[in-house]
Amino acid sequence: MGRVAELAGVSVRTLHHYDDIGLVRPSARTAAGYRAYSADDVQRLREVLAYRRLGFGLREIAELVGDPAADAVAHLRRLRGLLLERRDRVDATVAAIDRELAARGRGLRVTPEQQLEMLGARLYDVIGGAYTATRRTDPRIATRIWDALGDARTVVNVGAGTGSYEPVGRDVTAVEPSAVMRGQRPAGSARCVAAAAESLPFADGSFDAAMAVSTVHHWKDPLAGLREMRRVARRVVVLTFDTDEPGWQDRFWLTRDYLPEFADVLDGFPSLAGMADAIGARTEPVPVPWDCADGLFEAYWRRPEAYLREPVRRAMSVWTRVGPHAERRAVRHLGDDLASGRWAARNGDLTALASADLGLRLLIA
């Protein structure tokens, strides 16, 4: 054990701990009858230590190395992908630091999003802890997604988060890059792979269908991610957002009257037509029910007081992206207008509607 510890660069205590919790058990015996590491044990130890170095928790590692479908080559591929991603993030951090230095040099203000970028942090590793307070499957939106999946038996859910909208009764594999989000998946939910949409660790045509819900606008390269979905699955179902229509910002009173900065958040996001084109999809509107159970940005269009509540806002990435200044202003103005009756005077007609088309679209290919 001492020799293995020395070679692996860990303490004997660590090896004992891994043995105690059943993560890496020395299964061979020395001539003198002592327990020793076989070649397979060493390979497993190497995988455990590599995942550990990448920041995975022991429970997650146990799941990863215990996966009977993953052999040594699959682990090497996955580790390689994770390391390349880490290298990209370091490069991106250096670039972000350079940009911030240049901006500060010119006396410009640095937005919170730029500051997060500098940390090299994934947005959902920073804000994901607040997600489950209000984000869950809305049954009506789910029906639309599940109908679009057709008779698919194997489904990959990309940008899966905490598992909302994952269909039951099908064989689901989740893909989620944020450790914070993966850590909040309920016990017994679908197996979850740490990866990003832009580089899915699956062979061509591995699944009957690929789905992605409320996530494409977070991807570094949405079109590349969509093409990856197309590559690994015969059917693709994506819930996303339409910014093609001129004046789309005015569809929703919150962006129109209180948070025009929302448009900047989606700056550079591909057009709906472009995304549909990339995968050969048709598009269908998905109205938001007035009592939508999933606390997404548009969910409370008929319940405006909800936006005054901090936990509601913290589960919507938009507010972090626009920054505290815009957030405080929007909330103050909305609060004032609700108290004065101005909001009701402008939007009173909404109370008669059971659902509203606020730009959510299903892409089906």
List residues near ligand SAM by CB under 6 A. Answer: 124, 135, 158-161, 164-165, 176-178, 181, 196-198, 213-215, 218-220, 225
| Distance of closest approach, residue 175 Cβ to ligand SAM, in angstroms | 6
Nearer to ligand SAM, 158 or 299 (CB): 158
Determine how many CB atoms are found less than 10 A away from the CB of residue 332: 12
Nearer to ligand SAM, 24 or 213 (CB): 213
According to DSSP, the residues that pair with 285 across neighbouring strands are 361
| Distance of closest approach, residue 41 Cβ to ligand SAM, in angstroms | 34
Among candidate residues 218, 216, 217, 193, the one with its CA nearest the CA of residue 206: 193
| Distance of closest approach, residue 307 Cβ to ligand SAM, in angstroms | 17
Nearer to ligand SAM, 225 or 304 (CB): 225
Q: For residue 332, report the phi and psi dihedrals to the nearest 5 degrees.
A: -65, -45
Instruction: Please classify residue 316 by burial: count the beta carbons closer than 10 Å to its beta carbon, then call 0-12 exposed, 13-18 middle and 19+ buried.
Output: buried
Determine how many CB atoms are found less than 10 A away from the CB of residue 350: 15
| Distance of closest approach, residue 76 Cβ to ligand SAM, in angstroms | 21
Q: Please tell me the distance from the alpha carbon of residue 323 to that of residue 216, in angstroms, as a whole number.
A: 21
| Distance of closest approach, residue 124 Cβ to ligand SAM, in angstroms | 3
Residue closest to ligand SAM (Cβ): 161
Contact between residue 42 and residue 4 where contact means Cβ atoms under 8 Å apart: yes
Residue with tokens 């995975």: 56
Nearer to ligand SAM, 198 or 298 (CB): 198
| Distance of closest approach, residue 333 Cβ to ligand SAM, in angstroms | 25
| Distance of closest approach, residue 286 Cβ to ligand SAM, in angstroms | 13
Nearer to ligand SAM, 64 or 127 (CB): 127
DSSP 280-330: T-EEEE-PEETT-SS--TTTTTT-GGGGG-HHHHHTSHHHHHH-HHHHHHH
3-state secondary structure of 153: coil
Nearer to ligand SAM, 215 or 283 (CB): 215
Q: Please tell me the distance from the alpha carbon of residue 89 to that of residue 67, in angstroms, as a whole number.
A: 27
Q: Please tell me the distance from the alpha carbon of residue 109 to that of residue 359, in angstroms, as a whole number.
A: 31
| Distance of closest approach, residue 136 Cβ to ligand SAM, in angstroms | 8
Q: Is 45 left (phi over 0), alpha (psi -120 to 50) or beta?
A: alpha
Nearer to ligand SAM, 287 or 335 (CB): 287
Distance of CA 45 to the CA centre of its chain: 29
Nearer to ligand SAM, 44 or 78 (CB): 78
